[in-house]
Amino acid sequence: MSCPRCAAVVHVRAPRSLERTSAYLLAAAILYVPANVLPVMHSSSLLVNQDDTILSGVVYLLRSGSWPLGVLVFFASIMVPLLKILALVLLVWMSACRSRAHMLARARLYRVVEFIGRWSMLDIFAVTLLVALVRMGRLASVLPGPGALAFAAVVVLTLLAAASFDARLIWDPAHGDV
């Protein structure tokens, strides 16, 4: 379809929305594994030289008593990306099946996913800040680990997946056309 005025190609629905979303989701799901297994941060100081994964950071926070922070990081960095991927998978799958169930709930879920997605970058943000700030030569230094890259990719891919999902697809089965 093209616009009679400007001849731009127009679409009734975002083209290939489900296909793109599921591709992004697949990529995010794949990278979710290294993001959690590989260390995101390598900190070295006079005393210790250590690699931290996200989960080890959470465990450390919980053990050292600052459990609110630990819970926050756990949710923001581990649960949120996971739930986001699952939610989007659910949305894509139900839309693909043209399911008419819980359409309102699904629309709200989509809005929540879109809103909450950006907060997952908290960890990456923290790591990049630390890397920039903690540069004291031999005394202490922090370097990003390979997990950070994977984790950032997961977050970006889920954001892209959420953005490429056309929310109208949720409602389409109600009208029975298009």
Name the burial class of residue 127, with classes exposed (0-12), middle (13-18) and buried (19+) by CB atoms within 10 angstroms of its CB. buried
Residue 90 in the binding site for other proteins (CB under 8 A): no
- Phi first, then psi, for residue 140 (nearest 5°) are -160, 145
Task: Out of 13, 37, 63, 67, point to the residue binding other proteins (CB under 8 A).
Answer: 37
- Number of chain residues interacting with other proteins (CB under 8 A): 27
- Tell the smallest beta-carbon distance from residue 31 to other proteins (Å): 5
- Asked if residue 83 binds other proteins (CB under 8 A), the reply is no
Q: Is 90 helix (H, G, I), strand (E, B) or coil?
A: helix
Residue identified by tokens 């030289």 is 49
Q: Computed from CA positions of residues 7, 13, 19, 21, in that sequence, does the dihedral angle turn out positive or negative?
A: positive
**Position 47 contacts other proteins (CB under 8 A):** yes
Residue numbers at the binding site for other proteins (CB under 8 A): 1-2, 4, 16, 19-20, 23-24, 26-28, 30-31, 33-34, 37-38, 46-50, 146, 149-150, 153, 157
